[in-house]
Structure 1
Amino acid sequence: MHRMVIMNLRAIMDIKYFTEAQVRLLRRTVKDKAVADQSKKNKTGIREWMVIDLITSTGLRVEEVSNLRCGDLKAGYGQCEVFVSRGKGGRSRTVEIPQSLKTHLNQYLKWKKEQQERIGPSNYLFVGQRGPWTAQAIQQLVKKYLKKLGLYERGKSVHALRHSYAVQLYRKKRDLRAVQKQLGHASIQTTQIYADVTKEDIQQQINGLW
């Protein structure tokens, strides 16, 4: 039994992810910045919070986020989805989203319209003064906040948030198929890594052991 736990710990350590507490801290920090920026009529924080909420609530790859168009949001009555037109390997998929993100996306589209930004089906969701936000720009945004919070490590940045989403999603229902579908993995074997015991699970097991 102990040997199995150790083997599982080694497997989960092969992927880099943030704990639930760390992701919550990141989300709270960026959201607070958005609230402050809104009162100053500053647009940056509002866009940053939308990006972070989207990544941490869906597990989308950074390239998928940068490529999103307003028409990819399926957040009308009875809809709670985001359409990824060009995922890894050119595959498309539909990602289910929580109600909280749906509300945020609709608020964001309303805000964009108020800023006189185009929100047509083919218009990019994230646009700055220099044009659509690139994947590199989003990577730098995430890196900035991780460094600010002391969470940044080499090789553990924006993609680790995707892993964090997958780990947390699996821990909730232990449903590998759901994780596979949300992440857009072609093979369940790729998703299997998230079924390994996490550090948090082991902590629960060893606390009060004696």
Structure 2
Amino acid sequence: MRNSGRAQVEAFLEMLSAERGAAANTLAAYGADLEEAIAFMSSRNSALPAAGSDDLKAFIADLAGRGYAASSQARKLSALRQFFRFLHAEGLRADDPTGTIDTPRKGQALPKILSVEEVSRLIAQAEADIAAAGSDQERYQRIRFRALLELLYATGMRVSELVSLPERVWSGDGRFLMIRGKGNKERLVPLSLPARQAMADWIATRNAAWPANTDDPQWLFPAASDLGHLARQVFARDLKALAGRAQIPARLVSPHVLRHAFASHLLANGADLRAVQELLGHADISTTQIYTHVLDERLRQLVNDHHPLAKSGINRDVAADNG
């Protein structure tokens, strides 16, 4: 069998150290990745410097089969790319076999969501916190927080949109809000009855506390900050604290997770994907489609329960065999 390629790998690592100043841990990582490739090629009675594209694709496939994450596969492929470019630059290879190999891609991460029961616990805890408030100031802050929470879950707004809502968007009975989102685009969103009630409580509480000798508030949720309205970091911090009191791990809860919950719960209960796209303010429906993972089981059950031929599939197969 030909030389396994360790001599060429050592020369490559020396180049990285001398010419590029690679750190010791970087050299060790490259060395380990290439050593793994050497071992794989040896199992195929081949040598790494002579490997072709099919050999390297087989190596990546073997990594995937052994449970390596796409990020780990991509890192090892990166080491191979640099190694073969080095061989080509040194005149040791006439070609680069990695040129036709696609980098393994991470699967699209599904959004974290909360169940309906978990969201209900958050809201119930927010209401209990109001009842347990020890001072007028604490009660004021907790009524404001409950309104923010109800509004977020009722609309799926981005937290930056939520905290910076101008006062003028609230009018009449509050059945709808006009939200200005990304790209300065506006969208109209309806409010649920619980959200409208929570907002009515907040407006009444805020107005009662607003000094009579000052102008009307510019923001729906004014605060003593440089922005003039509640900071999104403050709301996010308070939301995690609420989760802890509701016996839900704080790491699972954030304003964006509630936005995910809004979309997922709507879809799970039969909402149209295009309608959810409009409510979320997504420019491209492909962004909204990530939430359809929640529909998989529901749709499977729907077909099994209601498709006229689904339950008789086995009988039809038997009848065909007997026919």
TM band (smaller chain): 0.7 to 0.9
Deviation string for 1:73-95 (max 9, x for gaps)? 24x15x5111112x123322111
TM-aligned CA deviation for residue 119 of structure 1 = 8.2
Gap change, CA 1:140 and 1:200, over 3 Å in 2: farther
State the secondary structure of the residue aligned to 1:93: strand
State the secondary structure of the residue aligned to 1:84: strand
1:137 aligns with 2:234: yes
Distance 1:191 1:160 in 2: 14
TM-aligned CA deviation for residue 47 of structure 1 = 1.2
Q: TM-score, normalised by structure 1?
A: 0.78
TM-aligned CA deviation for residue 146 of structure 1 = 2.1
Residue 268 of structure 2 corresponds to: 171
Deviation string for 1:34-86 (max 9, x for gaps)? 2222x742322111111111111111111001111221124x15x5111112x
Point out the structure with the larger helix share: 2
State the secondary structure of the residue aligned to 1:124: coil
Residue 103 of structure 1 corresponds to: 197
1:124 to 179, 201, 219: 219
1:149-164 alignment, distance < 5 Å: 149-153=247-251, 156-164=253-261
Query: Structure 2 regions of 5+ residues with no counterpart?
Result: 1-106, 303-323
Gap change, CA 1:172 and 1:146, over 3 Å in 2: same
Deviation string for 1:8-30 (max 9, x for gaps)? xxx89611111111111111001
Distance 1:24 1:84 in 2: 25
CA RMSD of aligned residues (A): 2.8
TM-aligned CA deviation for residue 198 of structure 1 = 5.3
Residue 175 of structure 2 corresponds to: 80
Deviation string for 1:141-195 (max 9, x for gaps)? 11222233232227x5220110001001111224112211111111111111222
Q: TM-score, normalised by structure 2?
A: 0.52
1:33 aligns with 2:129: yes
Amino acid aligned to 2:231: T
Distance 1:12 1:164 in 2: 18
Do 1:12 and 1:198's aligned partners in 2 also have CA atoms closer than 8 Å? no
Distance 1:189 1:164 in 2: 18
1:21 to 94, 117, 123: 117
Deviation string for 1:95-128 (max 9, x for gaps)? 11112322322232122111125784x6112223
The alignment-based identity, stated in percent, is 27
Gap change, CA 1:194 and 1:128, over 3 Å in 2: same
Gap change, CA 1:36 and 1:170, over 3 Å in 2: same
Distance 1:162 1:183 in 2: 8
Query: Structure 1 regions of 5+ residues with no counterpart?
Result: 1-10, 206-210
Do 1:12 and 1:196's aligned partners in 2 also have CA atoms closer than 8 Å? no
2:277 to 180, 190, 197: 180
Larger-Rg structure: 2
Q: Which has the higher contact order (CA 8 A, sep 6+)?
A: 1
Distance 1:28 1:45 in 2: 12
Distance 2:147 2:169 in 1: 15
Aligned length: 189
Amino acid aligned to 2:110: D
Amino acid aligned to 1:80: R
